[in-house]
Chain A
């Protein structure tokens, strides 16, 4: 059954895509009236599902935000009864209520199909062996790729995160050909191969690498490809949109096709919320049109990107997103984990030994992204007791790790040593290489 496309929708022309989008948008909006949240919101803004007659009528619908997901925690946006749902994914929820996404069996099947389509697009076939180094559990990069790779028919190894030596053993013993890893972990794998005397070109069968969840530059991609002797493809997803499988690079490696039979894409100015001119950077707004349990209408992703103008040589007419350019809020993405500075602030504020100023620095050191948190020791706590400083350092590190799931480097500094900025405090310095 070998062919270029996994699904016929991939080959649709613009007019076919848009016809399907309108049909699916209309049915999604009607279906959303089963959601207490959307029903109330439509009534409040004075619109009815019948008002959606063209794709442009989408603009009549109010935006949905992450705050809406928090406010309706856990099940308030659902458009089906819970008995019809078969899976739940949730964010860690450390900045307030977690965001919960529900799935029906059909949703999960469609999600797996989208991921399988992405993997097929970059040349994965049933005779490939797919090893997933993503964390499993609530992190959607685990189960998302698992089900997608299985759907395609690959032998799928749920190796999960960590234990690099064991990952390498599996590469060798199972003759793994496709790997999913975050970019910083791909570099880590290579370091470990060098230490172990493994030459990936000579000793391994790796051919394709799927990298996502972490912003990275074209240079980083090229370096990883060169190191491991693979082709590396950029993957984009987010838990609110299921997870991976939202947009993916084709073999042209020039922009990520977003599956427009699943999503309607808008790029808006984050201040005015008006659409930006084609090709300009703005906030990505997505409407799910192929989801039952919990459709989201005009969801503000906070990711900044643009639509690449022009046609793609691969023959797909689904629009292409450029690499993510950053965030319209202050969220930090480190090693694939989403972190808000407020989480760090909340932990630091529990320590009476500390003054109120802090500075988060993100840097790339030996291919690893690291976070340093500088904190000011308050005047009252300054002492001659070195052990007390060490204990304080250790305790702050431990509590931060419990909160953000990443171990930062904590740096104690004397009070008044962090420069005070005028106006809005600069709490985060991002010196990482990728942008």
Chain B
């Protein structure tokens, strides 16, 4: 039910992000979404892309500090309040969210999040009518 996200540990220095993105570009891998959590010194760049498994191998063999992380991708109607509704469901079930970001893809809202209790999250998603996008479908939306 989860999808793969690349998490790249980068030094907060000019050129470090370009290096990562160029590696993906050269392999014809497309970015779907990305976000950076940072301090003044370093950051974690999180990337949803086409072919994450191959992207991971590409970066790893180039010596990039990358990990492959499982996150949930919930598809929402592109209407006001849908994200609030979804997050409320998780909050009511006591599922804490480590981080979350969202984007629009082919007219649909996509909510990406990671939780420390993925087993319970799966149960909640199944019981609530929320739609988790499978990884293969995400690339098809491109």
- From 2 to 34 in chain A, residues with beta carbon under 8 angstroms from any chain B beta carbon are none
A412 to chain B: closest residue by CB: B42
A417 to B7, CA, bound (A): 17
Contact between chains at A413 and B11 (CB < 8 Å): yes
Is B67's CB within 8 Å of the partner chain A? yes
How many residues of chain A are within 8 Å of chain B by beta carbon? 17
- Check A377/B65 contact, CB under 8 A, given A386-B99, A413-B42: yes
A377 to B11, CA, bound (A): 11
A382 to B45, CA, bound (A): 12
The distance from the CB of B56 to the nearest CB of chain A, in whole angstroms, is: 12
A385 to chain B: closest residue by CB: B98
Q: In the complex, which of the residues B42, B46, B98 contacts A389, with contact meaning CB atoms closer than 8 Å?
A: B42
B39 to chain A: closest residue by CB: A390
Is B26's CB within 8 Å of the partner chain A? no
A386 to B42, CA, bound (A): 10
A414 to B98, CA, bound (A): 22
B69 to chain A: closest residue by CB: A384
> For the complex, would chain A's binding face be called helix, strand, loop or mixed by DSSP majority?
mixed
The distance from the CB of B6 to the nearest CB of chain A, in whole angstroms, is: 9
The distance from the CB of A218 to the nearest CB of chain B, in whole angstroms, is: 34
Contact between chains at B69 and A414 (CB < 8 Å): no
Total contacts A-B at CB 8 Å: 40
- From 377 to 406 in chain A, residues with beta carbon under 8 angstroms from any chain B beta carbon are 377, 379, 382-386, 389-390, 393
Is B37's CB within 8 Å of the partner chain A? yes
Q: In the complex, which of the residues A379, A385, A390, A411 contacts B65, with contact meaning CB atoms closer than 8 Å?
A: A379
Is A343's CB within 8 Å of the partner chain B? no
Q: Chain A, 406-435, contact with B by CB distance < 8 Å: what is the 0/1 string?
A: 000001111111000000000000000000
A372 to chain B: closest residue by CB: B41
Contact between chains at A384 and B11 (CB < 8 Å): no
Q: Which residues of B contact A385 (CB under 8 A)?
A: 98
The distance from the CB of B114 to the nearest CB of chain A, in whole angstroms, is: 7
Contact between chains at A415 and B42 (CB < 8 Å): no
A414 to B99, CA, bound (A): 22
- Check A414/B7 contact, CB under 8 A, given A384-B44, A384-B69, A384-B114: no
Q: Which residues of A contact B98 (CB under 8 A)?
A: 385
Contact between chains at B42 and A411 (CB < 8 Å): yes
Contact between chains at A382 and B63 (CB < 8 Å): no
Q: Which residues of A contact B11 (CB under 8 A)?
A: 413-414, 417
Q: Other CB < 8 Å A-B pairs besides A385-B98, A393-B41, A417-B11, 7 of them?
A: A377-B65, A384-B7, A384-B67, A390-B39, A412-B42, A414-B64, A415-B65
Residues of B whose CB lies within 8 Å of any CB of A are 5, 7, 9-11, 37, 39, 41-42, 44, 46, 63-67, 69, 98-99, 114
Residues of A whose CB lies within 8 Å of any CB of B are 377, 379, 382-386, 389-390, 393, 411-417
